[in-house]
Amino acid sequence: MTKILHKVILSSRVDRADAVDVAEKTIKYMLNKGVKELLLDETLKNKITIKNEKIRYINVKDFSKHKADIMVIIGGDGSLLRALHYFEKTPPPVLGVRVGRYGFLMEVEPEHVSEALDEIFKGKARVIARPRIVMYVENKRLPPVLNDYVILAPRLKMVHVRVSKKSTRETILNAYADGLIVSPTAGSTAYSLSAGGPIIDEELKVVVVTPLNPMQLRARPVVLDIREKLTVEVVDRDSEVYSDGIFCCVIEEGSKANIEFWDEVLFYRLKRDYYSRLKRRDYV
């Protein structure tokens, strides 16, 4: 049975001609398939040569205002995380097209985009749900993350961080470190992995707490259920907070942040190659 896609969001990196070329081919494919409305990242406006009344250019910050059937992201993991950064509401199912060096979160290579979309239109594509978490600092809600929150001490300084479980009030991490990484499942293969954190199977729903270069040898990464609510205390030094690589705010000395499960984002999966993708990280 053919699936009807009424509205599609598409974003692409624009600093590479091959990415723009893939975007243009994907747009043509979508129009030929009868998509009713194509919402394109406005950064593509002077790059795309196709003229069609079904195409609208909007700011990536406004993507979340539109209820779409699918979101296609062309580029690397940074391109994907940039688009998701502005979705406080759960975004539409995502198809990632890899045009970049690593692109661990991206599903298909450019030459297989039409095949992947054919599977989606036929309703045969498998989806996997990846959880996001959200942080509150002084009652301010930060953008939810798919990859990680990173708390960083000032340059060449260390910060005393203390992390506890709300359910039992137990302290699970208490250390001096360069900072702290808190990531849901998808982020386990990103900065957390580089910092010595574990690889989490994509079928698991967890949150990983990884200290950055801790002074104490006993301070090791901790894996908890995704529904566990956490409190992070920055004991002795103002520290910066980054949401999926984007600076958000400063946590003041003596302040606390709360972290909890937010939602799940659906990703189209055409292949079961999670562990093979990890080999991309070995490329230089």
Tokens linked to 190: 């990103």
CB contact set of 17 (below 8 Å; sequence gap of 6+): none
pTM of the model: 0.93
Is residue 167 over pLDDT 80? yes
CA distance 52 to 63: 20
CATH number of the 7-124 domain: 3.40.50.10330
Q: Which residues are catalytic?
A: 77
Per-residue DSSP letter, 17: H
Q: Which part of the chain has CATH 2.60.200.30?
A: 132-263
- At the top level of CATH, the class of 132-263 is mainly beta
CA distance 75 to 20: 9
Is residue 2 over pLDDT 70? no
Asked if residue 96 lies in contact with residue 63, where contact means CB atoms within 8 angstroms, the answer is no
- Span 171-185, average pLDDT: 97
Express each pLDDT in 47-81 by its tens digit. 999 999 999 999 999 999 999 999 999 999 999 99
